[in-house]
Structures are given as structure tokens and as C-alpha cells.
Amino acid sequence: MQITDLISLVTNVGFPVTLCFILIRYVLQTIGEKLDKLDISLNQLAETIQSIERAEKKESK
């Protein structure tokens, strides 16, 4: 978002509304990044659990 876009937004809808838009965008972006990291971690955990289960099955034979 460019400075000219922000100035235009402030003049059209007002400062409080513009500030809310900026904060919402920041929060959504931050949460999205954290959810992506959480998804990667959960997938790695699932793969690790599956590999442990496979190893235990081989040992029990």
C-alpha cells in the first residue's frame, strides 16, 4: 500500500476507519503466517508419529 493510497483513504473515510483497516490487515497477515507455521509443524508431527509406529511394528515382528 502506497502513501498516496493511505492519504486518499484517510480523506475519503476518515482517520479512525483507516486505522482500523490497517490494523485488521496487519493482524490477518500475522495470524496467517502463524497458521502456516502451525500447519507445517503439525504435518511434521504426523509424519514423525507414523515413522515411530512403523518402527515399532518392525520391532514387534
> Is the pTM higher than 0.85?
no
> Which 3 state secondary structure label does DSSP give 51?
helix
The answer to whether 22 and 13 are in contact (CB under 8 A) is no
Task: Tell me how many domains the chain contains.
Answer: 1
Cα–Cα distance for residue pair 18/25, rounded to 1 Å: 11
pLDDT in tens, 11-57: 888 888 888 888 999 999 999 999 999 999 999 999 999 999 999 88
Domain hosting 33: range is 3-60
